[in-house]
Structure 1
Amino acid sequence: MKTNYLLLALSIPLFSLAQYDYEPSPENPFGAPNPEAPKELLDYAPLIGECDCKSQSRKQDQTWAEPIPMKWRFKYIMNGMAIQDETLKADGRHSGSIRQFIADSTKWYVHYYSAAAPTPTLGTWKGGKTKEGAIVLYKDQKAPNGTEGYSRLTFSNINEKGFKWIGEWVDTTESVAFPFWKIDCTNGKRE
C-alpha cells in the first residue's frame, strides 16, 4: 500500500508539469501558443515579446502631450490559450489587457485594466485581423457631445521590429475619426 501512495505522489508533479507546457518559463519567458488554441491566437504572434515604445496621448486642451517612454510586453497565458499584455510607462500610468479569441463569435475579446484608476469593471473591445494584416478592435462609445460611435483600437505596421498602435473615437460610419492615444513600438523587440 505504501508503494502505491509513493508512486501516486511521484506521478502527480510529472502530470501537473505536463499540463502547463505552454506557460512562460525560463526557457520560454513569453510562453508559447497551445496547438489546441484557435489558429487566430497567432494573430498576435509577431507582438509576443517586449518592445521599447513611445506613448503619446491628448492633453486636456486636446493638443498632444510629449511622448512618454514605455515598455509593452506580450505573453501567452492560460497555458497558451490566450494572451496578456502590459504597458510599463515612465509616468507610472501602467495598464494591461487579457486577449481571448472566442471561436463561436470569430472575434477577439480584449479586456482592459489600468493602474491610473481602479478598474471595477473591465472595458471590453472586440474585433479581429483585417486582410491587410492590421488588428482592429471596437467598443461602443459616445462622443462627449452624445454622438453615437466607437472607441477603435488598431495595431498596424506589424513586423519583426515592432508595430504601431492608435486609439481613436470614430462615428458609426467610421468617416469621422478623432485619435486620442498613439503608441510607436518600432524600436526593436526582444523575444
Structure 2
Amino acid sequence: MKYNTIRGLSQIFILLIGLNLSAQSEYNYEPNADYPFGRPNPEAPQEIKDWQTLIGTCECSSVARNPDQSWAEPVQMEWTFKYIMNGWGLQDETLKADGGHSGSIRQFIADSSKWYVHYYSNKGTTTVLPAWEGGKRGDSIVLYRPQTAPNGMEGFYRITFSDMSEEGFNWLGEWVDPSEKIRFPTWKINCRRKLTSK
C-alpha cells in the first residue's frame, strides 16, 4: 500500500513537471526569466518588430500644456514596453510621479496593414477604450484618432514616436487638421533607456 502511494505520487509529480515544461515550450515568447520583456513571435506579422527598440524600460520626462496653453512643469515617469500574447502583441505601461498611470495594448491587424492602439488610464477610466491607428512612416511610428478642435474644426489627435533607438525615443501628441498642415502640440515625452530586453 505504501509503495503504491509513493509510486502514485511520483507519477503525479512527473506529470506536473511534464505539463510545466510543455507550457513553457508552448509559450516561448512570453516574458520569462531569460526574456523579462518577452520576444516577438516569428509567426506574427513582421510589423511586430516595429517597436523592437522600445522594448524594455525607459526613464522619461513628460510635459503637457496647462489650461492656459502654457507648458506645465515636467513630470518624471517610467515607460515599459513588453511583448504579450506569446509575442503577437505588445503592452506598455507608464508610471508617473504625479500618480497619473496609463498603458496601451498594441495589435497589428494585417488585413488593414495598421497598428491599433487601445489606451487606458487610472485618471480617465472608461467602459470603452479609445483607439489610435496607424503605422511606420520612415523611421517613425505615427498614429491617429479623430478629434474635433475646440473651434469645431475637424481633425485628428496625432501621436508620433521618433528618434527610436537603443538609447531611447521621443513621443509627441498634437492636434492636426486633415491636411496635417495645421499642428498644435499638446504633450511631449522624452525617454532614455533604463532596462532593455537583453
TM-score (norm 2): 0.89
Q: CA RMSD in A?
A: 1.6
Q: Which amino acid aligns with 1:178?
A: F
- Of 150, 153, 156 in structure 2, the residue corresponding to residue 150 of structure 1 is 156
Correspondence 1:189 to 2:194: yes
How far the C-alpha of 1:55 sits from its partner, in A, is: 0.3
How far the C-alpha of 1:20 sits from its partner, in A, is: 1.2
Matches within 5 A, 1:114-153: 114-131=121-138, 133-153=139-159
Indicate conservation of the 8 Å contact 1:51/1:190, yes or no.
yes
Structure of greater Rg: 2
How far the C-alpha of 1:10 sits from its partner, in A, is: 5.3
State how far apart, in whole Å, the 2-side matches of 1:90 and 1:22 are.
Answer: 31
Correspondence 1:166 to 2:137: no
Give the 3-state SS of the residue equivalent to 2:151 in structure 1.
coil
| Structure 1 residues 58 and 12: CA distance shift in structure 2, 3 A | same
State how far apart, in whole Å, the 1-side matches of 2:144 and 2:76 are.
Answer: 26
How far the C-alpha of 1:64 sits from its partner, in A, is: 0.5
State how far apart, in whole Å, the 2-side matches of 1:8 and 1:48 are.
Answer: 35
Match of 1:71 in 2: 78
How far the C-alpha of 1:8 sits from its partner, in A, is: 6.0
How far the C-alpha of 1:13 sits from its partner, in A, is: 2.7
- The percentage of aligned residue pairs carrying the same residue is 57
How far the C-alpha of 1:160 sits from its partner, in A, is: 1.4
Match of 1:19 in 2: 26
- Report the structure, 1 or 2, having the larger helix content: 2
| Structure 1 residues 26 and 9: CA distance shift in structure 2, 3 A | closer
State how far apart, in whole Å, the 1-side matches of 2:137 and 2:57 are.
Answer: 23
Aligned length: 187
Matches within 5 A, 1:57-96: 57-96=64-103
Higher mean displacement: 7-16 or 104-113: 7-16
How far the C-alpha of 1:18 sits from its partner, in A, is: 1.5
Q: Which amino acid aligns with 1:127?
A: G
Give the 3-state SS of the residue equivalent to 2:162 in structure 1.
strand
Q: Structure 1: give runs of 5+ residues left out of the alignment.
A: none
Match of 2:39 in 1: 32
Match of 2:107 in 1: 100
How far the C-alpha of 1:11 sits from its partner, in A, is: 3.7
Q: How big is each residue's C-alpha offset from its partner over 1:94-123, in whole Å with a ceiling of 9 and x where there is no partner?
A: 110000011111000000001112121111
How far the C-alpha of 1:9 sits from its partner, in A, is: 5.5
Q: Which amino acid aligns with 2:181?
A: S
Q: Structure 2: give runs of 5+ residues left out of the alignment.
A: 1-6
